[in-house]
Amino acid sequence: MARKDPYVEFLKEDFNDLFGQLELTPIQRKFLASRWLDQVLWMEKKANHCRDRHYRLRLSAIILGVLVPILIGINPANDELRKAKEYLTIGLSAIVAISAAVEEFFHYGERWYHYRRTVESLKTYGWQFSQLSGRYSKYPTHTAAFQDFTNQVEEVIQRDVEIYVTQVAKTEDDNQPTGALVAGPIAGIDDLTDPSGSDYPVPQ
């Protein structure tokens, strides 16, 4: 069973409690739960996932990249220690190269920025809608502001999909070796797929 993210669980409970106090129709509540909140939680988890992968790969490359020259400069008198040092240096050098190559191919840093930017936009609109502030301050009730809110949510999601396809996924396609089979925007990444099997939720 996948470990639950405490912050994601907090967001889910907090927003459910917040929107449960608003005067909305059942259909509007359904949209908030199935569309807005679902996207917020999904992107929050993806942002955290990509951030962790990015940090691990980058720190591995940086730290081990510093250790390799140090090991090269060490010259043990014992033949066994010298051989062990050589094997260790080769192994660490391989890890550095692999970490840099994986990050370059999957662009976890770019994915992290991408998901974080979108989820924060969605959360901002959600908070403004709940308080009838910002662009929603002109509406007397949440019911009156709901259509504008849904339009903004769909615009954010659609823009997010377009940016993902034209920038993030395109970069990965460019990194594919000639003749490689590409099944979708992110071919072969099982750990980044949602339960439905789609890497990225496309608005209906």
- Listing DSSP states for the chain in one string gives -PPPPHHHHHHHHHHHHHHHTS---HHHHHHIIIIIIHHHHHHHHHHHHHHHHHHHHHHHHHHHHHHHHHHHH---SSHHHHHHHHHHHHHHHHHHHHHHHHHHHH-HHHHHHHHHHHHHHHHHHHHHHHHT-GGGTT-SSHHHHHHHHHHHHHHHHHHHHHHIIIIIHHHHHHTSPTT----STTTT-GGG--TTS-SS----
10 within a domain of the structure (yes/no)? no
Q: How much is the pLDDT for 61?
A: 95
| Total structural domains within the chain | 1
Q: How much is the pLDDT for 77?
A: 86
101 within a domain of the structure (yes/no)? yes
Whole-number Å distance between alpha carbons of 186 and 106: 9
Q: How much is the pLDDT for 7?
A: 86
Domain range for 80: 25-173
One digit per residue, pLDDT tens: the chain, 204 residues? 567 788 889 989 999 898 889 999 999 999 999 999 999 999 999 999 999 999 999 999 999 999 999 999 998 889 999 999 999 999 999 999 999 999 999 999 999 999 999 999 999 999 999 999 999 999 999 999 999 999 999 999 999 888 888 876 666 556 554 443 333 333 333 343 343 334 444 343
HSE-CB of 31 using CA atoms within 13 angstroms: 15
Q: Quick one: how far is CA 54 from the chain centroid? A: 10
Two structure tokens written together for 100? 């840099």
Whole-number Å distance between alpha carbons of 81 and 79: 5
Whole-structure pTM value: 0.74
One-letter amino acid for residue 86 of the chain: E
50 within a domain of the structure (yes/no)? yes
179 within a domain of the structure (yes/no)? no
58 within a domain of the structure (yes/no)? yes
Two structure tokens written together for 59? 């720190």
16 within a domain of the structure (yes/no)? no
106 within a domain of the structure (yes/no)? yes
33 within a domain of the structure (yes/no)? yes
